[in-house]
Amino acid sequence: MTLRAVFRSWMDHYLSDEEAVILLIVLVLGFAVVIWLGKMLAPFLTALVIAFLLQGAVSALTRRRVPHFLAVMLVFLAFIGVLFAMALILMPLIWNQLINLVQETPRMFASVQQLLDDLQVRYPQLATPDQIQAWIGMAGREVTQLGQRALTLSLASLGNLVGLIVYLVLVPILVFFMLKDRDRLVGFVVSLLPRHRGLMTRVWQEMDDQIANYVRGKFTEIIIVGGVAFFTFAFFGLPYSALLAVMVGLSVLVPFIGAAVATLPVAAVAGFHFGLGDQFLYVIIAYGVIQALDGNVLVPVLFSEAVNLHPVSIILAVLFFGGVWGFWGIFFAIPLATLLKALVYAWPRGLKQRRQEVSQEERAAGS
């Protein structure tokens, strides 16, 4: 079979219908717009994600016979309240703890250096003094770079103050209108699609429940894991509890890797503050219990429909989409990978269904 015949067979299999071509164009344009105009459209994309998260609460209220506009207002006011609480309480607390941690890093580094020196004296066969000094020098360079990055970030944040104000004003306005006029906006988008859209409908049906379940479930998981971690760390008197809790909460975004990465700063702060004693052991055990409950109890409860992806596929999706879109790429890595999988599986079946519908219409017209 020649290469031309293989290509022609592939085209007939996947792109033999007008709807398939339109779907391919829509996907390519959508990815291109997000990649090249992502920064420009960031407020709109952020509002779209938040509106998608809040739509579940609006739908729940309307199912209980609450008028749509009143449901939108109640959910929107709750969102504004949470936004102000984060802006006025949580963010300043996290920022202050981050500054204190950066300022205390040299003292922590000196303690680590003393610990390495003691280990080298007690166990000289583990490492030579030159190796110890090489490790210390490398760690010192990393600490210096960390301080420079923190200073650069703080100075850059002053320049982005106008952008932050735009976000705080524009995003809530967009969220309100997306919730209020959802049916009109969706109707407008649907009107631009072909009249026969069996393939698009099949792909959307396979993805709608999974995306909604994943996004809302993952957001809830971040809140629960971060909140439990904060109260646990505060109970043990661990410093920087809010900063570490946010880090632990966000670690659930990256399966298999996030928990391991978040363990390092928790163990480092606990070891520096409590020493390698019983209190340190209690903190590590409590943190391990949080991670175990998250993986074995919380995730099965929140995610009613498991995303059937191989771990290698998940890691590749996180690396690729995270490299392209940063934080939001990591957040949506699994839904996007699931979308690609649904496209691969639904595309031929959708075209087959479309051909059957056309045949039925032709037979009905002929009769």
Residues 339 and 234 in one domain: yes
Residues 150 and 252 in one domain: no
Query: Taking the complete model, does pTM exceed 0.95, yes or no?
Result: no
Q: Residue 229 — left, alpha, or beta (φ > 0 → left; ψ -120 to 50 → alpha)?
A: alpha
Q: Which of 185, 215, 175, 183 is nearest to 333 (CA)?
A: 215
Residues 277 and 134 in one domain: no
113 touches 90 (CB < 8 A)? no
DSSP state of 308: -
256-275 pLDDT, tens per residue? 677 778 888 888 888 888 87
Indicate whether 26 belongs to any domain.
Answer: no
272 touches 249 (CB < 8 A)? no
3-state percent helix, strand, coil for the chain, nearest multiple of 5? 85, 0, 15
Indicate whether 341 belongs to any domain.
Answer: yes
Phi (first) and psi of residue 195, to 5 degrees = -65, -40
When mean pLDDT is compared over 15-24, 105-114, 184-193, the highest value belongs to 184-193
> What band does 155 get if pLDDT is binned at 50, 70 and 90?
very low
- The CB density around residue 223, as the number of other CB atoms within 10 Å, is 11
Residues 329 and 345 in one domain: yes
CA distance 233 to 175: 34
When mean pLDDT is compared over 102-106, 306-310, 358-362, the highest value belongs to 102-106
Ranking 140-144, 193-197, 305-309, 345-349 by mean pLDDT, the lowest is 305-309
Q: Looking at residue 355, what is its pLDDT?
A: 53
Residues 208 and 103 in one domain: no
The tally of domains found in the chain comes to: 2
Take residue 79 and report the two structure tokens written for it: 């969102």
Q: Which of 357, 208, 229, 361 is nearest to 286 (CA)?
A: 229
> What band does 182 get if pLDDT is binned at 50, 70 and 90?
confident
> What band does 296 get if pLDDT is binned at 50, 70 and 90?
confident
Q: Is the pLDDT of residue 336 over 80?
A: no
Domain that holds residue 323: 198-355
When mean pLDDT is compared over 8-12, 88-92, 350-354, the highest value belongs to 88-92
